[in-house]
Structure 1
Amino acid sequence: MTILTIDFEASCLPRHGRSFPIEVGVAAGDQYRSWVIQPHDRWTGWDWTIEAEALHGLTLEQIAREGLPAARVFAELVDHVQGRRVVADSLLDQYWLDELAAAASAPTPFVIDHIAMLFDEQRADDARIAAAVAYADSFGLPRHRAAGDALWLAALTDDLMRIRSCPPQPLTLLAAPS
């Protein structure tokens, strides 16, 4: 089964308040897709922190203007994931997928596995994990944007699984075309 990595960016971390997803990216190998998500009415009054904004570089006004409706992002994401195992490096990604599904008035369509499951399945020791992290870091991918983080995790996963057909390339465009 093909592994697809996923990453969400959000309005804040849940420990800072009610958090909603603002961007989602998926990647496999050097292929990626990302979506900026318009704030849904469900999230009105939820929290937005300047720390999160500084980290991902997206303003609330920008996602409102450039983002796509949550239902459309959800439908395209579900279509894109079809038949693949989805892996993330944060347990919070499942929370944000659940929030996106709720905004689309749909059940959560898949479960996101944590990268630690792959480490265990591959019997990766600390040295093997460090080597996979170094491999992913070697591409200098932009971080704290969903596509860049998903590509970084895909590179780590590929190295861990010893799949190195096409290394990820630095991104110039992080948002999916409308």
Structure 2
Amino acid sequence: MDGRDRAWLIRPAEAWRYWDWSEEAEKLHGISREQLDREGLPLAQVISEMADFAADCSVFADADLDEYWLEVLCQAAGRGLPFHVRYLGEFMKKRGYTRPQVVAALDEAKRRLPKEHLAREDAKRLALVVKLLLDEPPQGLST
């Protein structure tokens, strides 16, 4: 939420070599398997850098799939999870935000940051949603 961000291209683990690779996903994300093989960083390095970057932070995601993929990365690298990924909905519920407030913040974040399906851009948009909600008075962002 402080505006800092990081993204990594990850070199696929050998155990993943025979996983399906979808041309549709490649086009959606704009990343080819060849690019990952050529430019991707080793798993252990990425996990260490992620842990350093997220140190002393609470990490949230909008789907449990994000923690699953972190587990897949860590398992392939022979490491434990460097941090827990919590569900963003829990944060919003605990803060008492209403569905209309969240939808309005999400719509505004999508307007400001429309690029989707790249981890960095998706994370920046979610951080903006939270910032918009936190910057508004409790009754703000209603529709």
TM-score normalised according to structure 1 size? 0.72
**Misfit runs of 4+, over 4 Å:** none
Aligned AA (2:122): D
Instruction: Return the alpha-carbon distance in structure 2 between the equivalents of residues 49 and 119 of structure 1.
Output: 34
CA deviations 1:121-160 (Å, max 9, x no partner) are 1111111111211221131342111111111111011112
Structure 2 segments unaligned to the other structure (5+ residues): 137-143
Percent identity among equivalent residues? 35
Give the match for residue 140 of structure 1.
Answer: 113
Q: State yes or no: 1:103 paired with 2:105.
A: no
Corresponding residue of 1:153: 126
Q: Give the distance between the partners of 2:36 and 2:23, measured in 1 at CA.
A: 14
Q: Secondary structure at the match of 1:32?
A: coil
Higher alpha-carbon Rg: 2
Instruction: Figure out how many residues of one structure are paired with residues of the other and give that number.
Output: 136
More helix by share: 2
Greater relative contact order structure (CA < 8 Å, 6+ sep): 1
Question: TM-score, normalised on structure 2?
Answer: 0.88
Counterpart check, 1:48 vs 2:48: no
Displacement, 1:38?
0.6
Q: Structure 1 unaligned segments of length 5 or more: list them.
A: 1-27, 164-178
The answer to whether the Cα contact below 8 Å between 2:113 and 2:121 also exists between their aligned partners in 1 is no
Asked whether the 8 Å contact 1:36–1:68 carries over to 2, the reply is yes
Q: Distance in 1 between matches of 2:71 and 2:32?
A: 23
Which structure dedicates a bigger proportion of its chain to strand? 1
